[in-house]
């Protein structure tokens, strides 16, 4: 706002970096606010909390983008009018009477496209994800190591919590949806930025995928996704993304020999109507049509898991009623005197679990060779019904 645009000057790299950091900080503020609101609601299941966060974050960031686009349009319009910009027909910009005509001028389209590109890359597509490992993994780890090393009173489980990785959630859906919407917005403007922006989107998401894979497999102790609720709502939020593409298609096809040529409010209403029409059809298809292509539920006779018993599952999954019940674990060791007793399961310490089939503890800790867990599970398919029943009784 304070930059002097006289004689066609454009802001330099310092202004670009400042704008990028404003976008990054703004998105992080919305991230924290949406996360705290979702926690404050007090959902019973973490999946439902993740759905609430995903919707709140996506909508709030889209509102941020809308406010930014309106502000950019107003600033760009004032700058171009003061600098005497003209259309390709030689008409001064301040002589154009309607909003849609001004919006469709090349100068305005180019300025809004530059702003959209700057907002998306690297501000939203890359910088937050480059900062994330430092802010969420390395930084907390270094602080935890310092706290544990400098405070002898911190020991045991408390010390482990200080140096343990933060739990991972399903908030990445919201990040990906926001990036997709920003990439789609470029379709409203000239095509010079389209391929560059989508290449940046693809490369950034490759990095995000690699980072999340490493974090999930090597950093966090555990994650539980009990339902498909988050995935269903993530698919539902693709409807606005596809609706924006439909709206862009209508806008770009206007007065291009496709049978319609609209101006002013009629064009805005038509683009908006196309968006909501696709939104409704998309959601209805997801609710009523997509389930028709699902695999049928197997009957009892053809159930491939019909012979798999508790033993087969417990051999590869350390989580059971026994290992997650602290009172039962104490009773096993100090009342019944089991040898070895039922060990309480701590996330990340599955290797300490000991097997004792006589008390229903079948999981054996330590390193499991590749494919061994699948071999154990498949062994239930080869067992006959009598043996499976005997093993299940244990």
pLDDT tens digits, 297-355: 666 556 677 788 899 889 988 989 999 999 999 999 999 999 999 999 987 788 888 99
Averaged pLDDT, 18-40: 83
What integer pLDDT is reported at residue 384 of this predicted model?
39
What integer pLDDT is reported at residue 329 of this predicted model?
94
Cα dist. 252→25, 47, 262 in Å? 33, 39, 11
Averaged pLDDT, 372-387: 44
What integer pLDDT is reported at residue 302 of this predicted model?
65
Asked whether residue 372 carries a pLDDT value surpassing 90, the answer given is: no
Percent of the chain with pLDDT strictly greater than 90: 25
Asked whether residue 30 carries a pLDDT value surpassing 70, the answer given is: yes
**How does 99-131 read in b/e, with b if 16+ C-beta sit within 10 Å?**
ebebbbbebbeebbbbbbbbbbbbbbbbbbbee
CA distance 352 to 365: 5
β-bridge partners, 356: 361
CA distance 329 to 334: 9
Nearest to 346 by CA among 157, 177, 189, 120: 157
The total number of residues shown for the chain amounts to 394
Q: Which two tokens stand for residue 25?
A: 């900080």
CA distance 357 to 107: 76
What integer pLDDT is reported at residue 286 of this predicted model?
93
- Cβ-proximal residues to 187 (8 Å cutoff; 6+ apart), any chain: 194, 244, 245, 248, 249, 252
- Cβ-proximal residues to 158 (8 Å cutoff; 6+ apart), any chain: none
pLDDT tens digits, 347-365: 778 888 899 999 999 998 8
What integer pLDDT is reported at residue 5 of this predicted model?
55
What integer pLDDT is reported at residue 60 of this predicted model?
86
- Number of helices and strands in the chain (H, E): 16, 0
pLDDT tens digits, 146-203: 999 999 888 888 888 888 887 777 888 888 988 998 899 999 888 788 999 999 999 9
Percent of the chain with pLDDT strictly greater than 70: 88
Task: Kindly calculate the radius of gyration of the chain based on its CA atoms and give it in whole angstroms.
Answer: 29
Averaged pLDDT, 102-111: 82
Nearest to 243 by CA among 212, 207, 283: 283
**How does 256-272 read in b/e, with b if 16+ C-beta sit within 10 Å?**
eeeeeebeeeebeebbe
- Hey, is 10 helix, strand or coil? coil
Picking from 36-50, 80-94, 106-120, 275-289, which range would have the lowest pLDDT averaged per residue? 80-94
Nearest to 270 by CA among 283, 285, 259: 259
- The reported pTM is 0.74
User: In the chain, what are the domain boundaries?
Assistant: 6-236, 310-393
CA distance 177 to 286: 17
What integer pLDDT is reported at residue 381 of this predicted model?
42
Averaged pLDDT, 389-394: 41
CA distance 18 to 118: 11
Determine if residue 365 is left, alpha or beta; phi over 0 gives left, psi from -120 to 50 gives alpha, anything else beta: beta
Distance of CA 269 to the CA centre of its chain: 31
Determine if residue 381 is left, alpha or beta; phi over 0 gives left, psi from -120 to 50 gives alpha, anything else beta: alpha
pLDDT band at residue 4 under the 50/70/90 scheme: low
More confident residue, 382 or 318: 318
What integer pLDDT is reported at residue 58 of this predicted model?
84
Task: Specify the residue for token string 């499991």.
Answer: 368
More confident residue, 17 or 376: 17
Q: What is the mean pLDDT of the chain?
A: 82
pLDDT tens digits, 217-255: 888 877 777 788 889 999 999 998 999 999 999 998 988
Averaged pLDDT, 71-92: 80
């Amino acid at each position: 706002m304070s930059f002097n645009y006289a004689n066609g000057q454009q802001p330099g790299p310092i202004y670009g970096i400042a704008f990028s950091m404003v976008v990054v900080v703004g998105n992080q503020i919305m991230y924290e606010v949406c996360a705290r609101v979702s926690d404050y609601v007090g959902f019973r299941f973490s999946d439902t909390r993740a759905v609430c966060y995903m919707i709140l974050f996506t909508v709030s960031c889209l509102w941020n983008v809308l406010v930014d686009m309106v502000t950019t349009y107003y600033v760009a319009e004032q700058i171009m009018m003061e600098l005497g910009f003209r259309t390709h027909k030689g008409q001064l910009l301040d002589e154009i009477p309607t909003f849609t005509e001004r919006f469709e001028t090349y100068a305005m389209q180019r300025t809004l496209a530059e702003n959209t590109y700057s907002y998306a890359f690297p501000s939203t597509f890359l910088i937050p994800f480059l900062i994330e490992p430092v802010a969420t993994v390395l930084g907390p780890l270094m602080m935890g190591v310092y706290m544990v090393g400098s405070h002898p009173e911190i020991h045991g489980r408390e010390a482990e919590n200080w140096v343990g990785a933060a739990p991972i959630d399903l908030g990445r859906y919201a990040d990906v949806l926001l990036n997709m919407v920003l990439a789609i917005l470029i379709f409203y403007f000239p095509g010079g930025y389209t391929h560059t922006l989508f290449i940046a989107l693809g490369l950034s998401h490759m990095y995000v995928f690699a980072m999340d894979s490493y974090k999930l497999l090597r950093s966090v102790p555990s994650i539980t996704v009990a339902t498909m609720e988050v995935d269903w709502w993530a698919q539902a939020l693709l409807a606005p993304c596809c609706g924006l593409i439909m709206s862009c298609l209508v806008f770009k096809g206007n007065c291009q020999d496709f049978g319609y040529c609209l101006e002013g409010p009629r064009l805005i209403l038509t683009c908006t109507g196309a968006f909501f029409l696709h939104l409704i059809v998309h959601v209805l298809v997801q609710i009523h049509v997509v389930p028709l292509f699902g695999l049928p539920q197997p009957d009892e006779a053809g159930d491939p898991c019909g012979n798999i018993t508790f033993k087969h599952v417990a051999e590869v999954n350390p989580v059971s009623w026994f290992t997650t019940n602290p009172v039962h674990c104490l009773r096993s060791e100090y009342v019944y005197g089991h040898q070895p007793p039922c060990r309480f399961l701590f996330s990340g310490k599955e290797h300490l679990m000991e097997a004792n089939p006589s008390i229903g503890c079948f999981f054996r800790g330590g390193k499991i060779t590749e494919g061994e867990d699948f071999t154990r599970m498949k062994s239930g398919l080869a067992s006959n019904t009598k043996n499976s029943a005997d093993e299940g009784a244990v």
